[in-house]
Amino acid sequence: MPVTTTVYLHDQADYRIVFAKCVELIGAPARTRTSDDGGMVSTSPDQGLCAWTWVEYGQDGPPLRTTPVPHNQHCDPGCGYQHAPACWIEAVFDTSDGYHDDHGGAGTLHQRLVTGLGQWLDAQAVRWSWRNHGDGTLHDRHDGLAGLTLLDK
Ligand SMILES: [Zn+2]
C-alpha cells in the first residue's frame, strides 16, 4: 500500500505558497513539473521524486470545505470513521510502496515531511491537523507523528 498523509489547514493560507513549501520539503528540483487544474495544484507524476504532493483548495475555494464531510450512504451503521474536517486547504503527500532511503521507509519519510510542514505552519500561527491514511486516524498538530514510522516496510 502506498503511504499517504493529509495535512488540513484550519486557518487562511495562500495555497500557492503552501504548495511551494511542500515541493521544497520533498526536495524537488526547480525544474519540477507541476499543474493546477483550478481546484488542486500538484506535482506531475513520474519525475523520480520521493513523494507526490498536491494541495487541494476546491473549485470554488478556498476555503475547500466549510463543514466537515458528513457520513454518507457508503458508511456502515454506527460509522466511527472521522471524515475530513472543515479546512481552508489540504496538503497531501503520497509515496509508493517499497520506498527506502538512508533514514528508513516511506513512513519515516512522511514523519519528516509532516513535521517539517507543521513546524512551518506553527511559525505562522496556522492551525492544522493531519491524517495517517494507514489507519485512518486524525491527529491534532504533532500528535501521533511517531506512529508513521510503523508504516515502514
Ligand atoms: Zn461515515
Q: In what order do the strands lie in the sheet with 3-9?
A: 34-36, 40-43, 52-56, 89-95, 3-9, 128-132, 137-140
29 Cα–ligand 1 center, Å? 39
pTM of the full predicted structure? 0.95
Can you list the positions of beta strands (E) in the chain?
3-9, 34-36, 40-43, 52-56, 89-95, 100-101, 104-105, 128-132, 137-140
The pLDDT tens digits for 11-56 are 999 999 999 999 999 999 888 999 999 999 999 988 889 999 999 9
85 Cα–ligand 1 center, Å? 12
74 Cα–ligand 1 center, Å? 7
> Domain coordinates of the chain in residue numbers?
3-151
Pairing type for strands 40-43 and 137-140 reads unpaired
The pLDDT tens digits for 75-111 are 999 999 999 999 999 999 999 988 999 999 999 999 9
- CA dist 45 and 34 (Å) reads 9
135 Cα–ligand 1 center, Å? 15
**Cell matching residue 123:** 511559525
Decide: helix, strand or coil at residue 135. Answer: coil
The pLDDT tens digits for 103-119 are 999 999 999 999 999 99
